[in-house]
Structure 1
Amino acid sequence: MMKNFIGFLLVIILMSSCSEYQKLLKSGDSQAMYKKAVEYYNNGDYTKASNLFDGIRMVFQGTSKAQSVAYYRAFCSYNQKDYEVAAELFKQFVSIYPESSYAEECLYMIGYCNFLASPKARLDQSVTEKAMESFQLYLSRYPNSSRKEQINEYMDEMRDKLSYKDYLSARNYYLREKYKSAVVSLENCLKDYPGSKYREEIMYMLFNSKYEMAVNSIEDKQYERYNAAKEEYYYFLNEYPESRYVKEMARKYEIINEFLKPYDVDEEE
């Protein structure tokens, strides 16, 4: 009986709460709506808070409460994990209230929300790039921020993701034996992400791609392309002399030298 009574009370309370919320939405009493929205927000009911703040934001435009409403709206979206919308709302806040005491926090939140919205490496990374740009802007404005170390960790994580995406794209060309496209993509990977954790494999694929281009090339281009592969072998060996790829590459290097030997004799003469 007691359980049934408690359940009945909860239903009554819930219905009362919903009724109060619906009445507020229709009331047009902006002050009461603002007060209740803050209460909902503090209690973690971000959906109701967001709806109420949306309902009064135009009413408070140009007033002292406008900034507060904009701040709460952005954090409502953030707490509902609607990160891309939240990032846009934080961006609007910084644009409208650049001198606000909340401006630094909101500028950080633009980058952080986009960081959280950043998808897996195989997908489009425009949101990741937005996050990095926002964090860079934040650090340029607040170079001594206590958030600096954490931001740098986020930036490293996103750089790894971007380098992995480029690596996957280049490897795809390589595996499909599109060696000319692979060379371009692999060289861009090394240029754009010199500290990539995939650097060893990228350089290995770059050597193999240039080697295969030389082997399968027309006669007029073979000398130039074998030389390019030979140079790539030296670059790799200089950086990774103990690599598991060295034996395989050394066998191909011998083939390269065999091909170039007559040219070397001609040069000596």
Structure 2
Amino acid sequence: MIKFFYILIVLAVLSSCSEYQKALKADGEGAIATKFKMGEALYNEGKFAKANRLFAQIVPSYRGKPQAEKLMYLYSNTFYKMEDYYVAGYQFERFASSYPKSEKVEEAAFLSAKSYYQLSPVYSKEQKETKEALEKLQEFINLFPDSKYVSEANPLVQELDFKLEKKAYEIAKQYNKISDYPASVRSFDNFIFEFPGSKLRESALFYRLDSAYKLAVNSVEIKNSLQKGLVYLKKQRLETAKEYSEAFKEIYANSKHIEDVNAMVLAINEELKGYSTKS
């Protein structure tokens, strides 16, 4: 009995495959409607790759027809379900612009933006796609501020924002690690300016100070001739590092880095004492 049951299943599967292959190869006016009907059935069963192949064959035939809206939505979503996000983003974008009055336009616009989000790489890689995804998601939020999808879009924006923060932070920190302290200070300055509310701000301020301190104490004594006399380059750098330490302590008096900061301050003050007797 069980063997007979399995035979029936196999026959049903083979029959289904046979019907699908016939539909793919079918031609003529009647075949178009058959492909749409079978494609929709396969879509509802979660067989998106098969549905996609059928839809792709009939999309040109439905241009300008009433059924085109439904077909193009289903077709676009098959790409999303198959995780072909490049094409999904493009197709949903086309759908939203072609059918601005559709009841599916909000969903299509959101899924288009979300497709770009899905293409965003890890923070350590080039972030071109991340920036593009941010633009698309913000565009969606601006166009549909009351959409039910905004509650999902906002966390995606925050996640992408943090990737850009993390990328910029790690670049600046890498300069610190390889002892390129001028580049590190510049990069952390840019980071602090561009991401004022970042959760990495405390670490950024600390490593900016650390880079400025190491740049100062390792400086060779050089005098710069200015109109008002002689100014010591090392002294200038020590004073800059001291300013950074004061800014850090004012905001993060209870930081985990505070002992290191205090040690740097003592060393900076000790170095600066030597300039009190210099002209």
Task: Report the TM-score when normalising by structure 2.
Answer: 0.88
Identity of aligned residues (%): 32
Q: Is the 8 A contact 2:107 2:149 kept in 1?
A: no
1:79 equivalent in structure 2:
81
Deviations 1:9-65 (A, max 9, x none): 111111111111111111121111111111111111111111000011111122222
Q: Which runs of 5+ in 2 are unaligned?
A: 223-232
1:238 equivalent in structure 2:
250
Q: Is the 8 A contact 1:182 1:206 kept in 2?
A: yes
2:25 equivalent in structure 1:
26
* C-alpha separation in 1, matches of 2:137 and 2:256: 38
2:11 equivalent in structure 1:
12
* C-alpha separation in 1, matches of 2:151 and 2:11: 50
* C-alpha separation in 2, matches of 1:225 and 1:174: 16
* C-alpha separation in 2, matches of 1:261 and 1:216: 17
Q: Which amino acid aligns with 2:238?
A: Y
1:228 equivalent in structure 2:
240
The 3 A distance-change label for structure 1 pair 176 and 262 is closer
> Normalized per residue, which structure has more helix?
1
Q: Is the 8 A contact 1:110 1:131 kept in 2?
A: no
Q: Which amino acid aligns with 2:268?
A: I
Deviations 1:121-160 (A, max 9, x none): 2223222222211111111111222332332222112212
Cα distance, 1:114 vs structure 2 = 2.2
From 27, 39, 42, give the equivalent of 1:40: 42
Cα distance, 1:120 vs structure 2 = 2.0
* C-alpha separation in 1, matches of 2:93 and 2:264: 55
2:122 equivalent in structure 1:
120
From 105, 121, 124, give the equivalent of 1:103: 105
Q: Which amino acid aligns with 1:82?
A: D
Alignment of 1:237-256 (within 5 A): 237-256=249-268
Q: 50-59 vs 173-182, which deviates more?
A: 173-182
Q: 145-154 vs 6-15, which deviates more?
A: 145-154
Cα distance, 1:262 vs structure 2 = 5.0
Deviations 1:53-94 (A, max 9, x none): 001111112222222222111111111222232112111222
Q: Is the 8 A contact 2:48 2:78 kept in 1?
A: yes
From 85, 89, 92, give the equivalent of 1:90: 92
* C-alpha separation in 1, matches of 2:50 and 2:148: 33
From 154, 157, 161, give the equivalent of 2:156: 154
Cα distance, 1:210 vs structure 2 = 0.7
Cα distance, 1:241 vs structure 2 = 0.4
Runs of 4+ with >6 A deviation: none
Task: Report the TM-score when normalising by structure 1.
Answer: 0.92
> May I ask how many residue pairs the two structures share in their alignment?
266
Q: Is the 8 A contact 2:106 2:147 kept in 1?
A: no
| 1:49 maps to 2:51 | yes
For the aligned residue pairs, the C-alpha RMSD in angstroms reads 1.9
The 3 A distance-change label for structure 1 pair 265 and 95 is farther
